[in-house]
Structure 1
């Protein structure tokens, strides 16, 4: 009869109360990405957290936790969110940064989550999302293009002013 010795390739972590103790700091980067996509989509559609919560039958605090990545979104809840916001479930996984997709699970878990919650990221600002929503709210294509060109020229003017020390 073969002996029941542990396989050296499958070393187990120390158990405590029958559960493995894993050490993680902060939300998982993928949860942060999904939460960020939820927030962007919600704001682009002009919904508040309370409105989304009512559509889903949950509290607005739960929506906040999903958006921050504090609570993970289950598969069924993500499906419900996608249905409510009229996007495919894959929308929430689109644009995952390459530093997450090209790494092993262990390497992904070590990535600094600050990349996903940085306040320096302009797409995390309410102002940016409201601007984009308003921009696409302009139905006249020619007018929308002129607004775009106006903003670009103002931005260039401010940049050149700063470069000249004015």
Structure 2
């Protein structure tokens, strides 16, 4: 009898997988290349990206390091369990709006505002 997963993949896994795929594609990294760098098969990475297989915390951290994003970027689109508000999409202008410009020097704040307008 096949072993059943005690925690089958679900909706959260689909969102995480979709975000992994989106960020990987933004980095122009092929699935096979990501798999090679992670020591996984391309098929395993595809299963992650489709949400068919749950990504372990260790693998999620390795993928985040490889793609040079915080691991929290993969949770974009889900609701924050504390505030019940949607977690902003990685790279969205909402992330720029959360910066406290008063804590930055004028040159850095100006550069961030220009980048936000350019990529909005």
TM-score surpassing 0.5? yes
Alignment-derived partner of residue 66 in structure 1: 48
Report the counterpart of residue 35 of structure 1 in structure 2: 17
State TM-score, norm by structure 1. 0.43
Query: Cα distance, 1:43 vs. partner?
Result: 0.5
Q: Which runs of 5+ in 2 are unaligned?
A: 85-113
Counterpart Cα distance in 2 of 1:47 and 1:88: 17
Q: How many residues align?
A: 81
The RMSD of aligned alpha carbons is 2.8
Which protein has the larger Cα radius of gyration, Structure 1 or Structure 2?
1
Whole-Å separation in 1 of the counterparts to 2:78 and 2:21: 15
- 2:27 paired with 1:45: yes
Whose RCO is larger (CA < 8 A, sep 6+)?
Answer: 1
Deviation readout 1:100-123 (Å, 9 max, x if unpaired):
x85xxxxxxxxxxxxxxxxxxxxx
**Equivalent position to 2:62, from 49, 74, 80:** 80
- Pairwise CA distance, 1:67: 0.4
Give 5+ residue unaligned stretches, structure 1: 1-18, 103-140, 149-166
